[in-house]
Structure 1
Amino acid sequence: MFFMVDPRRIQIYTLLITMVYLTFFHVRRYANPFVDELDFTVALMTLTQKMSRFAFEYHDGTVRSYQSLTPTQKSLAIKSLPGILPYLSYNVGFLGLLAGPLCSFNDYQVFIHGEEKKRNPNVVVFKKLWLCCFLLAAHIILSDQFSVSNDPNNSVMYIFLELYLTAASRRPKYYFAWTLADVINNAAGFGYNGVLDYGEERWDLLSNLNILRIEVSVP
């Protein structure tokens, strides 16, 4: 499609096509919840994000003027179409196929070609694995503790509290999956993002999740 569509509209067409495709399978899964087949919608969501992001970064690198881009867009802009093998490797590489995390094509190429200085991720991997264990335990303990009742005598405030606790008890399993996906990439050497002022290495290049900020709703 990238060879057939006008680069000025490629990001729009890609987003529309991938979202329609993803929506179709979500609706199909919702309409037939008891069908005994593999649920691949999670992997499909990750693939939708990657293909859409690639299209937008390609649009930034080939259509938009360099001066109009932000510093981040300049570093991630894709200036020419890659070969089919790098493109497929980015989209369906085993490290991020099932649950991500989302990354840029340029960052992925730097990792694949070994263009950055190798760092030791062991410390951050163990820290994130401990977090995974905590999140998994929270999911096992809390997931069945709260549910929404249908008692019409409950007050509005009680219903809101019930909804909040029920939703909160379901989130750890998603936090666990995203954190584990981050750990897998870090263990492979992907995710290094420089060094902080006090010398600590940053391994948050692929960290799409900040649990504290999500839970307390702060920027």
Structure 2
Amino acid sequence: MDALAPLLAPIDDLVASSVAASGLAEDQVKYIYCLLFAVPFGWLFRVLPNLPALKHALSIIISIVLCSWTLGQYSWVHAVVSSLVTWLLVRLLPPRHAATAVMCWAMGYMSVSHIYRMYIDYMGWHLDFTTPQMILTIKLTSFAFAYADGNIARKKDLYPEQSRNEVKQLPNLLEFFGFVFFFPSFMAGPTIEFAAYRDYISLDMFKTKECNGQIPSTIFPTFFAIGRAFLMLPLCIYALQMPLNTVLTPEFAAHPLYLRLLLGYVYVNLARQRYYFGWYLAECGFVACGADYNGHNADGSINWDRVRNCYPLSIELASNTKMITDNWNVCTSTWLRMYVYMRLAPFGRSVATIGTYTVSAFWHGFYPGYYIFFVICAFQTLAAQAVRSRIRPLFVTLKENPTTKKMVEIPKQPFKFFYDVCTVIATASITTLNGGSFLLLGWSEAIAFFSVLRWTNIIAVMGTYVVFTYIIPARRSKPPPKTE
């Protein structure tokens, strides 16, 4: 990086002025600029000649330079080591055994990285190599399983998603490291399947009637994506004036309970906005280079959402926990579903569920706050399912569709609307307050936060679970009587 210092000096000055203007930490500002730099590189990538080797090599160079500037001169070495071992495991072992070995290797490397980070920066939010390593863990494990799927004898055993992403031919090292260091994805995600990366580099992704083998123009979609991301930035900056650890102060505890609940919701919600901003901004590089292309609609418009990682409105207005998990950190949720849950499903639903939550927890790290949050979410999900099975039938009736001969739900208005409003409010408030433990990280901090709330969120979850699971019997909507 010393050789590039004269070239980076103006950028460093820009970073310093941005830090002074925004109040954000220097490493966070560098990360933002790093994601923005992916946009012009993406436009350059779009017009490169169709030479896969050139694209792989250029992507590797871009990611190494950005990673060195943002996270430290040798921070990218972790990616090289973990990826090279993965490639060797897939190359040398039978595909099925290789997939399991890569999962153990990648998750083990990730876990050691988390422990090391906790040792040198406990409870800190400084950015380091563990962020791209988390993304890389998803990419390496999905690649290993996709290669195993591509070389399985019984293709009928595969789900449609697995068949779509299967990899039949092992890539050479240049192509593999091009995938590992694909610059729109390397620093902060979102992730992309190896099959999609290969189709993008070869332009097979665009061999459709509408595209005719050419990447569509990405100028307007990119600026739209950037604008969408920066709509979230004011809330992120405002959140600096209302840090979440304020909820642990004596001044906060002195407020009446109703105000503590309201302010607790506001503080946690503001802290959550940085994730929306980061995920939206990370997608911009994908849009710029064209890799976010996801087909055309019937009206001729293009879907730019192949790697969309969040849907904020669907999260904030969710009526149940599943809607939140389906729209939050979508790429990680998809990875957990396809490469953990589906792989463990033959051993039973309970094993698959427990295994998925375990992998998710280890992937996030080892702070107690994560595990508190996941346990509460599990009971919240069960409670919501119990309420839905017992209360929702009161607000809908079943009627047979004369065309499909299937039963469909007909809402009883305006009562169904009232039910929907109540479920949205309950889901938003309880999930947000529970999320305080995830963001506060520590055990004592999470317990202190719940204590100052008088444990109302925990009582609401556990009380609902017990009452609607063990006391109130389940009921079903009665189908209409058949007529001759």
Aligned residue among 134, 137, 140 for 1:48: 137
**Structure 1 residue 53: deviation in Å?**
0.9
Question: Which structure shows the bigger proportion of residues in helix conformation?
Answer: 2
- Against the structure 1 CA distance between its residues 126 and 15, is the aligned structure 2 distance closer, same or farther, given a 3 Å change threshold? same
Instruction: Give the 4+ runs in structure 1 shifted more than 3 A.
Output: 150-164
- Note the alpha carbon deviations across 1:163-217, whole angstroms, 9 max, x for none: 4333221222222222112111111121111111222210111212222223333
Q: Does 1:143 align with 2:240?
A: yes
**Structure 1 residue 126: deviation in Å?**
1.8
Q: Decide whether the 8 Å contact of 2:243 with 2:271 is kept in 1.
A: no
Q: In structure 1, what is the Cα distance between the partners aligned to 2:153 and 2:254?
A: 58
Q: Which residue of 1 aligns with 2:101?
A: 13
Q: Which residue of 2 aligns with 1:112?
A: 201
Q: Percent identity, aligned pairs only?
A: 27
Q: In structure 2, what is the Cα distance between the partners aligned to 1:105 and 1:156?
A: 51
SS of equivalent to 2:296: coil
Q: In structure 1, what is the Cα distance between the partners aligned to 2:153 and 2:224?
A: 41
**Structure 1 residue 109: deviation in Å?**
0.9
Q: Which residue of 2 aligns with 1:206?
A: 307
SS of equivalent to 2:248: coil
SS of equivalent to 2:306: coil
Q: Does 1:216 align with 2:304?
A: no
SS of equivalent to 1:175: helix
Q: Which residue of 1 aligns with 2:441?
A: none
Q: In structure 1, what is the Cα distance between the partners aligned to 2:257 and 2:146?
A: 46
Aligned residue among 132, 135, 138 for 2:229: 132
Q: Which residue of 1 aligns with 2:181?
A: 92
SS of equivalent to 1:82: coil
Q: Which residue of 1 aligns with 2:114?
A: 26
Q: Which residue of 1 aligns with 2:278?
A: 177
**Structure 1 residue 78: deviation in Å?**
0.7
Aligned residue among 183, 186, 201 for 2:287: 186
Q: In structure 2, what is the Cα distance between the partners aligned to 1:16 and 1:158?
A: 46
Q: Which residue of 1 aligns with 2:162?
A: 73
Q: Decide whether the 8 Å contact of 1:135 with 1:175 is kept in 2.
A: yes
Letter in 1 for 2:119: A
Q: Decide whether the 8 Å contact of 1:146 with 1:165 is kept in 2.
A: no
Q: TM-score, normalised by structure 1?
A: 0.88
Letter in 2 for 1:46: I
**Structure 1 residue 157: deviation in Å?**
6.1
- Against the structure 1 CA distance between its residues 10 and 144, is the aligned structure 2 distance closer, same or farther, given a 3 Å change threshold? farther
SS of equivalent to 1:144: coil
Q: Decide whether the 8 Å contact of 1:192 with 1:204 is kept in 2.
A: yes
Q: Decide whether the 8 Å contact of 2:139 with 2:191 is kept in 1.
A: yes
Letter in 1 for 2:121: P
Q: Which residue of 2 aligns with 1:164?
A: 265
Q: In structure 2, what is the Cα distance between the partners aligned to 1:184 and 1:193?
A: 15
Q: In structure 1, what is the Cα distance between the partners aligned to 2:113 and 2:187?
A: 16
Q: Which has the larger radius of gyration?
A: 2
Q: Which runs of 5+ in 2 are unaligned?
A: 1-88, 207-212, 327-484
SS of equivalent to 2:233: helix
Q: Which residue of 1 aligns with 2:37?
A: none
Q: TM-score, normalised by structure 2?
A: 0.42
Higher RCO, 1 vs 2 (CA within 8 Å, ≥6 residues apart) = 1
Q: Decide whether the 8 Å contact of 1:102 with 1:208 is kept in 2.
A: no
Q: In structure 1, what is the Cα distance between the partners aligned to 2:151 and 2:281?
A: 35
- Note the alpha carbon deviations across 1:31-80, whole angstroms, 9 max, x for none: 21189x97111111111111011012112111262212222221211112
Q: In structure 2, what is the Cα distance between the partners aligned to 1:198 and 1:122?
A: 20
Letter in 2 for 1:169: L
Q: Which runs of 5+ in 1 are unaligned?
A: none
Q: Decide whether the 8 Å contact of 2:293 with 2:305 is kept in 1.
A: yes
| Count of residue correspondences | 218
SS of equivalent to 1:193: strand
Q: Decide whether the 8 Å contact of 1:43 with 1:98 is kept in 2.
A: yes
- Against the structure 1 CA distance between its residues 64 and 157, is the aligned structure 2 distance closer, same or farther, given a 3 Å change threshold? farther
**Structure 1 residue 122: deviation in Å?**
2.3
Q: Decide whether the 8 Å contact of 1:101 with 1:178 is kept in 2.
A: yes
Q: In structure 2, what is the Cα distance between the partners aligned to 1:75 and 1:38?
A: 34
**Structure 1 residue 14: deviation in Å?**
1.2
Which 10-residue stretch deviates more, 139-148 or 154-163? Answer: 154-163
Letter in 2 for 1:75: R
